[in-house]
Chain A
Amino acid sequence: MSGVYVILEDRGGRISRISWEAVAAANIVSAQSGTKATAVVIGAHTDALAKEASTRGVSKVVRIEHPLLAQYTSDGFTAALEEFTRAESPDYLVFPHSYQVRDYVPALAARLGRVLIGDVTAIGDGPVFTRQLMQGRLSGNYKSAGNGPCFLSVQSGAFRADAGESAAAESSTFTPTIDAAQIRTKPGEPFRGTAQTVDLGSAQLIVAVGRGIREADNLPLVQDLAAALGAEVAASRPICDNGWLPIERQVGSSGQTVAPKLYLAVGISGAIQHLVGMKGAQCIVAINKDAEAPIFEVADYGIVGDLFEVVPALTEAIKATKQ
């Protein structure tokens, strides 16, 4: 039977958080035809993953199992899902937009003559899929065309996962025929870059700095502000890429995810890679000279102005009020 399939991701033996958001998105798509999505788990031994998935609002669970799927490789996962897709002819394959999905789903779709509609933030009637363009300054509406399955991946935080438990769905196993020679890459064990000495995740107040600061010599400006507030200093990727602040202070998809009471973003335009790491903050304040910067779309308070004037003034005002 065709239908909507959602491919869940294994993160250290558990289903990743964003996978549940993909389930929610898949159920929006499947609701248009009055059904529920089927969950798919992939690995060498998937009993635990399948059990975890079975009670989370899906109609069925498919376990794609093979010893060569023990560790993720693009070649292994592409081959397994290609075979599965050819056998099942799904209408939709929905994925979380994770680094892993970005690594293999474009190849999988291409092998089937299709294209992944990636990083989807909203699903409308039609269905119409919305994704960001121009670093979040614009949105694009996409429709799937032609024959064959529609491949979608959904942006982290864009869909609300359903936390409720449902009756356990039945599971079945699909065994692909993968040959070791098909897997051309040899992945090593994951490792951490540097010892983590700053735990931004538990910080209550964060002052974060981005490209707008222009050079390393200007950093004391935000460090003074953070000191006045009693906040931790964080940064967007370019600041850490330049080596101006250590990578452990980086917030975003490749850095830490934070949820402080206050996130004060200074000179950060708000590319999605950054937003996914901080949009859970209770209050977001943005200071940026560009009134159209995407950071203002998630901010509670905004000051459109020159950070080199606003930040010192703010530091002074905070010091004055604390005295």
Chain B
Amino acid sequence: MKIIVAIKQVPERDAQVRIDSSGKWIEEADLQFAMNESDAYALEEALQLKEKHGGEVVVLSAGPERAGTTIREALAKGADRAIHVEVDDLHKRDALGAAQLLAAAVKPESPDLILTGLQSDDLGYGQTGVIMAELLGLPHATLILQVEKTDTGLTVKRELEEGWFQNIELPMPAVLMIQSGGTKLRYATLMGIKKAKTKELRKVNAAELGQASASTAALEKITLPQKQKSTQIIPGSAKEAAATLVEKLKFEVRIL
């Protein structure tokens, strides 16, 4: 089974993000970056499928040069080779524009399965996989926690809202958007990190993949979120703050 996993490099969780001078993106200078969380689960699912059924796992990522470190991490975890779509202004593309790039890079590979995470932790559009499926003419399923290969294709476990689930059967090739938490993530081994350095990492310039359609959902301005409530921040040492909070819970909230 040939599996393509689309991953994205995003600012590290808990990173302090600042709006840049254009007001349309964030300051990248001092940021740490990491693999998008649900994409890491997509990669894990792909590696486990390969272990069970054989085949190849190809990592695909669009992003600037810095994305190379995240791609190497995926190779170190066990992906066989990688395609890096070099693009410096990914954040200026809407979800369709980003999916067009990835779909164009996938096409000549003719994979049996395309996996990607559910949603990016930066822009959070949560649409890339679904649009890729549409552009490639493939069936898809989203919010997937488990993937099983069957004689006729795949059976996948899909998460629904409020603690419900559903199994879906679909033929291959197909696109699946993977939800976090369906499986345990592996760490890269020292051997894996060593091997990763010799694995194929092919760079493709975004311009070679055809013209992106003009953005139809334009990000005009980034702002700080509007507070929904006026929060009383309780000052002091841990002990002082705890004592004050107990007073509040007693006399203002009245639950003690």
Listed in ascending order, the chain A residues whose CB lies under 8 Å from chain B are: 74-75, 78, 98-99, 102-104, 106-107, 109-111, 113-119, 122, 128, 131-146, 148, 184-193, 196, 204-205, 229, 237-238, 240-242, 247-248, 250, 253-257, 261-262, 269, 279, 282-286, 290-292, 294, 296-306, 309-310, 313-314, 316-318, 321-322
Contact = CB atoms under 8 A, between A and B. Distances in A.
B234 A255 contact: no
Nearest to A282: B253
A257 to B, nearest CB: 7
Contacts of B17: 134, 137-138
Given A205-B255, A303-B241, A145 B181 contact: no
B76 to A, nearest CB: 22
Interface stretch (B44-52, B82-90, B162-170, B189-197): B162-170
A139 B214 contact: no
Interface in B213-231: 213-229, 231
B60 interface: no
Given A106-B95, A314-B245, A142 B217 contact: yes
Nearest to B240: A313
Interface stretch (B63-71, B105-113, B137-145): B137-145
Nearest to B140: A74
A142 B218 contact: yes
A310 B171 CA distance: 53
B199 interface: no
Interface residues of B, number: 78
B21 interface: no
A304 B245 CA distance: 12
B140 A107 contact: yes
B126 A297 contact: no
Of A102, A104, A115, A117, most buried by chain B (CB within 10 Å of CB) is A115
Contacts of A286: 231
B246 A318 contact: yes
Contacts of B125: 118
Given A134-B26, A187-B168, A310 B238 contact: yes
A110 B231 contact: no
B248 A301 contact: yes
Interface in B145-193: 159-171, 179-181
User: What 8 A-B pairs have minimum CB-CB distances, sorted nearest first?
Assistant: A241-B181, A106-B127, A309-B238, A313-B242, A184-B139, A188-B167, A107-B134, A106-B130
A280 to B, nearest CB: 12
Given A241-B181, A306-B238, A140 B96 contact: no
Nearest to B19: A138
A277 B239 CA distance: 30
B122 interface: yes
B80 interface: no
A135 B248 contact: no
Contact of A253 (B95, B142, B161): B161
A110 B131 contact: yes
Given A139-B222, A241-B180, A301-B234, A254 B256 contact: no
A150 to B, nearest CB: 8
A269 B168 contact: no
Given A107-B133, A186-B168, A188-B168, A133 B231 contact: no
Contacts of B233: 291, 296, 301-304
Contact of B95 (A116, A189, A299): A116
B9 to A, nearest CB: 14
Nearest to B14: A290
Contacts of A102: 126-127, 130, 142-143
Given A110-B135, A190-B165, 13 more contacts: A110-B99, A113-B213, A115-B96, A115-B216, A115-B217, A118-B125, A141-B222, A193-B165, A256-B162, A269-B13, A290-B14, A301-B245, A314-B245
A278 B155 CA distance: 33
13 contacts: A106-B134, A133-B222, A135-B121, A135-B124, A141-B220, A186-B169, A250-B163, A254-B161, A255-B163, A292-B16, A301-B245, A310-B241, A314-B246
Contacts of A143: 217-218, 220
A117 B243 contact: no
A313 B239 CA distance: 5
Contacts of A240: 181
A133 B181 contact: no
Given A257-B162, A302-B234, A114 B245 contact: no
A79 to B, nearest CB: 12
